[in-house]
Amino acid sequence: MPKRLSNTDADFETAFDSLLTASREEKSDVDGVVSGIIADVKARGDEAVLEYTAKFDRLDVLAGGLAISPDEIAEAKSACDPGLLEIMQVAAARIRSYHERQMPADLRYDASEGVSLGYRWTAMKAAGLYVPGGTAALFSSVLMNAVPARVAGVERLVVTLPTPDGKTTPSMLAACSIAGVDEVYRVGGAQAIAALAYGTNTIEPVDVIVGPGNAYVASAKKQVFGDVGIDMVAGPSEVTVVADGQNDPAWIAADLLAQAEHDTSSQSILITDDSSFGDRVAESVELQVKSLGRADIAQASWEVHGAIIVIQSMEDAPALVDRIAPEHLELAVKDPEALSEKIRNAGAIFLGRYTPEAIGDYIAGPSHVLPTSGTARFSSGLSVIDFLKRTSLIGCTADGLRSIGKGAAAMAEAEDLVAHARSVSIRLNLE
């Protein structure tokens, strides 16, 4: 059974803190292993990538065979159900439309007489998109990573796709085609991140690496950051559902299980002001989980990491949610808009009883790549901004330099940076 908490219990703070701080990933130090893989790929390039691909994915190929050819992609796309392809096209269009509205505008203005300021946004030239092969082939992740990059103006999109035993799903390659991906490679794990960051004879390096993965991928992204950009270091997926007693308990149970079936380390939390409703949801979870194809995974996630938190009033919910800072937050209440305005920390908020989190996973529009493990306190979901750079623009006429230059020179002198001061005063004939 999941954890049961009530904010009226004397030990609630201790129990709630324990829930927040409990590790949901395997307690193994992968950083050292990953560091070795990265160093090996930097030193030996394709040779190292091929060895790790054979070892971890049981796939023996020559360097040229790492690339999935356009013909293979076209063949996979033709093997897909036409109805699914049509839905994927609709999803891609919705994702594109949402992210087009995120594109920031350049700015130029006259800050004072003779001084112009501004900034310009430019896209990174190449982006590496890591798509997990893991326990489920999530072709939706291709669309959610690649479409925002293309909207931002990235010229070269590279997907690394783990293919254990050489197998992948046609839908995964079809998504690459629909999203406009330029290159696809059958390589995963830390070796894929290293290849994207530093390049090999087969895979040219990129400027930014995005997309979720396992602990090895997360560690690799942390370690290559600084040599390339990254979007975030993602942990296990999670949902918090705030629901009153006016909901159908079966609906809420389905929402909790939708997250639990991702992985045994996923977390589903229900916050409700109706204790009996919480009981009915728990009962519905036990009934529904038996019918899932990934029942064992969902059951383990729910029993080990799941929680039902009973609160006295919905007024108590925002403070708890902000402490959780969940990746996904459902507000299945009478006035979700009003409640959402009181919440600061969440990767994505799903408003109302008819907005299950799964709608955001696939077709709503915003990217489903979101901050996890409490990092919504300080970070945001994937967007076009992750593929853009902002460059400041500063221009002075002679009169403009005279108007602000003396101040700059005085500040430089106060910091004992003589050359700084001189580079201004020499233009003002102050030497």
Q: Measured between alpha carbons, how far is 83 from 90 in angstroms, rounded to an integer?
A: 11
Cα torsion angle, 409, 415, 420, 426, sign:
positive
Per the annotation, the verdict on 286 as an active-site residue is no
- In the numeric block, the tokens 């729910």 are attached to 302
Q: Is the dihedral of CA 49, 52, 57, 59 positive or negative?
A: positive
How deeply is 4 buried, as exposed, middle or buried, from its count of CB atoms within 10 A (0-12, 13-18, 19+)? middle
Give which of 253, 314, 237 is closest to 7, Cα–Cα: 314
Question: One of 183, 327, 330, 357 is an active-site residue; which one?
Answer: 327
Q: How far apart are the first and last CA of the chain?
A: 79
CB 85 within 8 A of CB 77: yes
Active site residue 327: yes
- The active-site residue, picked from 99, 262, 305, 328, is 328
C-alpha distances out from residue 132 to 148, 186, 258, 269, Å: 18, 11, 18, 25
Output DSSP code: residue 426: G
- Residues contacting 297, CB < 8 A, separation 6+: 135, 260, 261, 262, 263, 264
Angle between helix axes 31-44 and 189-198 (nearest 10 degrees) is 50
Strands 183-185 and 208-210: unpaired
Which of 250, 240, 218 is closest to 231 using CA atoms?
218
DSSP letters, 105-150, are PPEEEEEETTEEEEEEEEE-SEEEEE---SSS--HHHHHHHHHHHH
431 three-state secondary structure = coil
> Which helix H or strand E contains 271, and what residues bound it?
strand 267-272
Give the residue numbers annotated as catalytic, written as ranges. Answer: 327-328
